[in-house]
Amino acid sequence: MEDALQRLPADTAPEDRDGAGDLAQVRGLAAWVPAAIADRAPSVTVVGDAMLDGWWSGTIERFCREAPAPVVDVTHREYAAGGAANTAVNLAALGARVRMCGLIGDDDAGRRLRGILDDAGVDTTDLVQDARVSTTTKYRILAGDQVMLRLDDTHDGLPAAAIAALAARIPAAVTGADAVVVCDYGSGALDGEVRAALARRATLDPGAVVVVDAHDTAAWSALRPDIVTPNAQEAAQVLGLRLDARTDRAAAVAARRTDLLAATNAATVVVTLDRDGTVLLGPDGEEHRTYARPATEKQASGAGDTFVASLTAARAAGLPLTTSLDLAQAAADVVVHRPGTSVCTTADLTGHLQQFADTALATDELLRKVEADRAAGKRIVLTNGCFDVLHRGHTRYLNQAKQLGDVLVVALNDDDGVRRLKGPDRPINPIADRAGIIASLSCVDYVTVFATDTLVPLIDQLKPDVYAKGGDYTAQMLEETPAVEACGGRVSILDYVPERSTAEVVRRIRATPPAGGAP
């Protein structure tokens, strides 16, 4: 497969690379975008609190004599990289060239953790191992599928000499990196000297993408990061407010966009909202949502590390920010369905996205699903279009449509319908590819295909609460408006982005000469 990213000039800034996503998607290869990261193999340095996770499982057949507590007879022990080390392992699994810079003990746990990192292909040259330090461990004790207890072993303070040794490693560790990820879990190892060393390197080497994943993102404002990734609680702490999980937390943090950006001094804030996905808040009102595909309760850990790793790898490889965010959400969805601390590989992510290739629902099946959603009190939003070559205008529009209700249904024109609308040389992507790409977006719940010239027949059956349409229309111009209003729904006209169009993307692709040759 020709790597579309390699057709871009090497010195193109990430912000100017929106065409990279378009070039991949025009071939109907949304599921192959993760391979672009591995092909580019960006260099990423992870600086942070490395931990060892343990999962000890066994059986319970009796209670102990000393107290009314169950006795777990441990039959199996598994270990995994945790914290910043888990971020590093996930980056390596996606094809990045990774250096781990952190502080661990010269103890059994530290040696085991270094071995896990080495086996994953992470460069541990800058992983400082000090006999005066205890490696942070988090051991879960399980009986069956139930976590009975978690044992955390953390240090009570770090020697100044050990922190100084870590700070001394920073210049060499981050030099030449395409991205630097700071994973600060509040151990104290990254305070003072280490933070100052990173801030100096950010000034000297501004070309790297800097991502901060910290309990206190505001504490890293001097770094002027490109992206910070607080969770809901951490964002609330920065803002000095309380976020109620029963309310629209995305709207609450979006309303304080300016305050979050100012407090963190970041170019972009991505607030992770666990089961509610994420919200991206950028300058000039930029906003993008992702929507999680939550699992039934499993004993999963580290999905946030996977999210940060995937987001960083994609940005370091030059993928657009919104594409990177959607990929990161997909990667988190992969690991949250697995027990224990796990990683998402390129193959895992590709397979996850490819499963959406045949997800267009027949009308009868769609109606059954929507009926169940409506019975649960959910508002149904319907929109339609060709969506031939997915671009940023499309994703912005679909995110806006999702926010009009609870369930977003996207109806795609079949191939004959696209030809009638766009001409004999369209569609570029056949319906199977178009459906797979749209279904893989986290904001989309259901995809269906229609063959009629208008959507009126489907509207009559589906009876949406909201019919969303993008473009320079008014509700009065749409043939579907009377049908929507007759079933008690309303029409919503969303933003029109004239500089983002399929025709413009196709024109740009056709004007781009192939790598190493003439057009």
Tell me whether residue 305 is one of the annotated catalytic residues.
yes
**Out of 305, 333, 414, 415, which one is annotated catalytic?**
305
Alpha helices in 384-451, H assignment, sequence order: 392-402, 415-422, 431-439
287-313 exposure pattern, b = at least 16 Cβ within 10 A, e = fewer: ebbbbbbeeeeeebbbbbbbbbbbbbb
Write out the E strands in 26-68: 43-48, 50-63
Provide the token pair at 227: 């992206």
Return the closest-CA partner of residue 101 out of 40, 44, 160: 44
Cα 283 → chain centroid: 19
Query: Is residue 235 within a helix (H) or strand (E), and if so which, with residue range?
Result: helix 232-239
CB 299 within 8 A of CB 340: yes
How far the first Cα of the chain sits from its last, in Å, is: 18
CA-to-CA distance for 519 and 512, rounded, in angstroms? Answer: 7
CA-to-CA distance for 313 and 123, rounded, in angstroms? Answer: 16
The amino acid sitting at 407 is V
CA-to-CA distance for 212 and 194, rounded, in angstroms? Answer: 14
Provide the token pair at 41: 């193999």
The amino acid sitting at 309 is A
Would you please indicate which residues are annotated as catalytic (active-site) residues? 305
